Amino acid sequence: MSIPASAATKPIVSFDGNPISISSAYGTPFIDSANRLQAPIRVIAEKLGAKVSWDQNTQTAIIDGTIKVKMGSNEITTAYGTITMDTTAVNQNGRIYIPVRSIANAMGYGVSATAKDGTIAADITTKVNLTIAAAASLKDALTEVKDLYLQEKPKTTLTINFAGSGTLQKQIEQGADVDLFFSAATSNMDTLKNKGLLIDNTVRNVLGNKLVLVVPIGSKVPVNSSFSVVASDSSIKKIALGEPQTVPAGKYAENVFTYLNIMDKVKAKVVYAQDVKQVLNWVETGNVDAGVVYLTDAKISTKVTTIATASEASHTPIVYPAALIKSTNNYTASRDFLNFLTSAKAKAVFDKYGFEVL
The full DSSP string for 226-283 is -TTHHHH-TT---EEEE-TTT-HHHHHHHHHHHHTT-HHHHHTTEEEESSHHHHHHHH
Beta bridge partners of 110: 125
pLDDT of residue 160: 99
Q: How far is CA 36 from the centre of its chain?
A: 31
CB within 8 Å of 152: residues ≥ 6 apart: 340
**130 within 8 A of 150, measured Cβ to Cβ:** no
Q: Give pLDDT tens digits along the chain (358 positions).
A: 444 444 445 688 999 999 988 888 888 888 888 778 899 999 999 999 999 999 999 999 999 999 999 999 999 999 888 999 998 998 888 889 999 999 999 999 999 988 777 677 899 999 999 999 999 999 999 999 999 999 999 999 999 999 999 999 999 999 999 999 999 999 999 999 999 999 999 999 999 999 999 999 999 999 999 999 999 999 999 999 999 999 999 999 999 999 999 999 999 999 999 999 999 999 999 999 999 999 999 999 999 999 999 999 999 999 999 999 999 999 999 999 999 999 999 999 999 999 999 9
pLDDT of residue 217: 96
pLDDT of residue 9: 58
**3 state DSSP class of 132:** strand
* Strand order, beta sheet including 67-70: 52-55, 60-63, 67-70, 75-78, 81-84
**138 within 8 A of 185, measured Cβ to Cβ:** no
Separation CA 55–CA 231 (nearest Å): 65
Secondary structure letter of residue 146 according to DSSP: H
pLDDT of residue 293: 98
Apex 195 CA angle, 189 and 198, nearest 5: 55
Separation CA 75–CA 106 (nearest Å): 10
297's enclosing H/E stretch is helix 295-299
Domains of the chain by range and CATH?
A: 5-125 (3.30.457.10), 128-206+318-357 (3.40.190.10), 211-314 (3.40.190.10)
What is the pTM assigned to this prediction? 0.87
